[in-house]
Structure formats: C-alpha cells, structure tokens
Amino acid sequence: MTLRTLKVALAGAGAFGLKHLDGIEHIPGIQVVSLVDPDLSKARQVAEQYGIGHVATNLQDSLAGPEVDAVILCTPTQMHASQARQCLLAGKHVQVEIPLADRLEEALAVVELQKSSGLVAMCGHTRRFNPSHQWIQQRVQAGKFKLQQMDVQTYFFRRSNMNALGQPRSWTDHLLWHHAAHTVDLFAHQADSPIVQAHAVQGPKHPELGIAMDIGIVLKAASGAICTLSLSFNNDGPLGTFFRYIGDTGTYIARYDELVNGKDEAIDVSEVDVSMNGIELQDREFFAAIREGRHPRSSITQVLPCYQVLHALEQQLQ
C-alpha cells in the first residue's frame, strides 16, 4: 500500500533543525515543504541544500499553506508554547523540540488546547527514543531490571549564547527548563514510577546571561528509586550527558547511543530499533501517530509531569 505523503513545515534552521532534516531524509512518505527562520538568507541556503520549495521568516506564513499537515518546531525555548498553540489553532499536528515550555502555565495551556483539538502534539524528549535508553526500558518492562539509582552529569562549556554548532544564538538556553527536562522525564520513565520528591540547589547567576551556570538536583520516585543530576555550563572538559543506571540486576552507563555495563563492556543496541538516530526515531513516532490517529510516545500529555516537577524546583530556587 502506498502511503499518502505527509507534508511538513519545519521552523528553525539552526543546529537542531538540521538534525531533524537529516533524520527525515531516511523516513519514507515525508516531504518538508516549508522552512521558517527569521534569517531569510540562512533559510534559503538550508532550503536549497534539502530541496525545500518554500521559505518564510514568519511561522504564520507556513501555517497558511493548506497543504501543510504537520509542523516541527526547532525554535528558541521561549517561543515553544506560543508557537505550539499557534500550530494547533491552525489545525496542524505539531512536534515541539524540548522543552515544551519554560513556564508551567504555558505547558498546561498547550495540553488543554491539544485535548480540545484532537490533533497530535508531541514533545521531543529524545532520551526516550535513543536506542541505549530504549534497551534499558525494554528490560524494565520485561521485569529484568528495576532501577534503584540514576546518576547523571549534563556538562557544557557555554558562557555565552552559542548553539550546538558554535554559532551565535539570539536567545539564552536554560539548565533547568531545557537540559534538566531530559533527565527528569527519563528518570520517571525508566523507574516506571512518578516522581514524589524533588530538591534543587544552584550556583551563582551569570552577570550577563542572568541564569545559574551550575545546578544540582535530587529526585525520588514512588518506587523508591533516586536520581542525582549535576548540570553545568561552566565545564571545560568532556561535553554532553552521561547516565549511570544502577539497578537490581546490573549497572549500565549510557552516553547518547553508546551503552556499556559496569565493567565497561559494550552492549550492542543496534537491533533495538530501525535506526540508531534518536531524532529520526522520534520523528518516525510523530509521523506514525499522525497516520494511525493515536497519541504518540512522548505526547505533551505524557511529558507534562516533567514540567510540573521543573516548576516545583524553580519555586524552590527562587
């Protein structure tokens, strides 16, 4: 059976927009028909590279196209919630990159609009899709592994507004609402249990950026599992996020799509899913949910508890 081509608009031609465009090239039946970026020359350059026929500097210009079925938002964090609502109000399915919002009330507003619209709305909590973390989740679901502790380090060297490609960024990233969101959501997901306690401390705020550059978070799930999370924008060393899973039947260490056991022996996760690319896998889930008329994994409703925890942590830090 030939699939009807789903036509997609992508907003944000930065580092993560390119990751989505690269992933979509491997997914049959998907055509990116519009690219949105405030920098028109960059949008045109990227559109030419990926064969995208329409460029715009304003999201509304893309939403006006009746052929657009769905939108992927890779825009600055502060725009996510309002743009997600804009897409839903225009009758478009939407996937918004993590985080869904940087304020709880905005996340709740998107969830309410999704419920009334019946459209697919998903948030890019990529760790749920990385094969290394999927491998752990499969063992949890099979009753072969119960999480007792997660120790996570999320480290960057970002003392100025730069993106993942080392290019100047027009907005300020956030350790709590963006980078902690990955782990807060993943911990509850892997523990298969809601978070019932959450505590945070933070270091000094950057004089220009106005954000804390170092944060420590401790979480506890209803199952009894605990999580310690260290985040820094001050780290001048190995960059990225490192996960240590300590459970009843083993210890595992994950870094993106690599997984080893506690003895540093590699675990083959290449057969976990159809790709080793977490971004591609989350996009595949988004499009499958649209075709099948169902809620996706990592729907905005599923990930809402993460933002409730982040809100509680922010209240403590204030």
Edge-to-edge, what's the strand order for the sheet holding 30-36?
54-56, 30-36, 6-11, 70-73, 93-97, 121-124
**By C-alpha distance, which of 3, 129, 7 is closest to 67?**
7
User: What is residue 179's DSSP assignment?
Assistant: I
Predicted pLDDT at 166: 65
Predicted pLDDT at 163: 58
Predicted pLDDT at 210: 84
Predicted pLDDT at 174: 86
User: From 3.50.50.60, 3.40.50.1100, 1.20.120.160, 3.40.50.720, which CATH number describes the 6-126+278-298 domain?
Assistant: 3.40.50.720
CB 161 within 8 A of CB 168: yes
Predicted pLDDT at 172: 65
- The distance from CA 3 to its chain's CA centroid, rounded to whole angstroms, is 27
Predicted pLDDT at 257: 84
Give burial (CB, 10 Å; 0-12/13-18/19+) of 312.
middle
Dist. CA 297–CA 302, nearest whole Å: 7
- Give the mean pLDDT per block of 10 residues along the chain (318 residues): 89 96 98 97 98 97 95 96 98 98 98 98 98 98 98 87 62 85 98 98 90 95 98 90 97 94 97 97 98 98 98 96
CB 138 within 8 A of CB 129: no
- Residue 57 structure tokens: 């500097």
Domain map of the chain by residue range? 6-126+278-298, 130-272
Predicted pLDDT at 192: 97
Predicted pLDDT at 239: 85
- What topology does CATH give the domain 130-272? Dihydrodipicolinate Reductase; domain 2 (3.30.360)
DSSP 239-273: -EEEEEEEESS-EEEEETTEEEETT--B---TTSS
Instruction: Tell me the one-letter amino acid at 220.
Output: K
Q: Is the dihedral of CA 162, 165, 170, 173 positive or negative?
A: negative
Predicted pLDDT at 121: 98
Predicted pLDDT at 145: 98
